C-alpha cells in the first residue's frame, strides 16, 4: 500500500512501461502521491515524450525490455541532462546515466517512497528547479 501522506512537492513525471495495463495501475499510484504524471508505452513513445517534455523525473518501469532500461537513460540525459532517471527492475548494478534505481521485486509503495526520498534529499527538484533547490540548499 502506498504512503497515505502526499509529497510536499509536485513533480512532473514521465512514467514509461512496455505493458499498458501495468502502466495504468502503477502511474495511478504515483499520481495519488500528488505528482503530475504523464505516461508513455514503449521506447519510441518515451523518447518522443522526453523530447517534448520538461520532466523532473522519468521512471522506466519493469515491463520495458532490459535493453530499453539500459539505453533509454543515455537518450534521456542527452535530451536534457537535468532530467532525473529512475529505473525499476534492476539487478543492483550502477549505471552512469541513472540517478536512482529499484531492484527487482520491489513494490509500488517502494517506488513512491524512493521518489519522496529523492525530493527530500534534494536529488530532484520540482519543475526544473536547480538540483538541491527542493531541499532549500
- pLDDT surpasses 60 at 125: yes
Domain residue limits, the chain? 12-132
Q: Which long-range contacts (CB under 8 A, 24 or more apart) does 94-97 make?
A: 95/70, 97/73
Question: CB 16: neighbour CB atoms within 10 A?
Answer: 27
CB 60 within 8 A of CB 68: yes
Mean of pLDDT values over 103-125: 84
Q: Show the DSSP H helices in 14-129 as ranges.
A: 20-32, 43-52, 66-79, 108-120
Residues 6+ apart with CB under 8 A from 94: none
Give residue 33's pLDDT. 86
> Is the pTM for the entire model greater than 0.95?
no
Mean of pLDDT values over 69-95: 87
pLDDT tens-digit series, residues 8-67: 568 999 999 999 999 998 899 899 988 999 999 999 999 999 999 789 999 999 999 999
CATH number of the domain located at residue range(s) 12-132 in this protein:
3.40.50.2300
Amino acid at each position: 500500500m502506498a504512503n497515505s501522506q502526499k509529497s510536499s512537492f509536485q513533480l512532473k513525471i514521465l512514467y514509461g512501461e512496455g505493458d499498458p495495463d501495468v502502466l495504468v495501475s502503477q502511474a495511478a499510484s504515483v499520481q495519488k502521491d500528488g505528482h503530475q504524471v504523464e505516461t508513455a508505452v514503449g521506447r519510441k513513445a518515451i523518447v518522443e515524450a522526453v523530447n517534448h517534455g520538461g520532466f523532473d523525473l522519468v521512471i522506466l518501469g519493469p515491463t520495458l525490455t532490459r535493453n530499453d532500461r539500459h539505453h533509454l537513460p543515455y537518450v534521456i540525459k542527452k535530451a536534457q541532462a537535468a532530467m532525473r532517471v529512475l529505473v525499476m527492475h534492476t539487478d543492483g548494478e550502477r549505471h552512469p546515466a541513472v540517478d536512482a534505481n529499484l531492484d527487482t521485486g520491489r513494490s509500488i509503495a517502494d517506488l513512491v517512497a524512493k521518489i519522496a526520498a529523492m525530493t527530500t534529499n534534494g536529488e530532484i527538484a520540482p519543475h526544473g528547479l536547480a538540483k538541491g533547490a527542493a531541499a532549500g540548499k
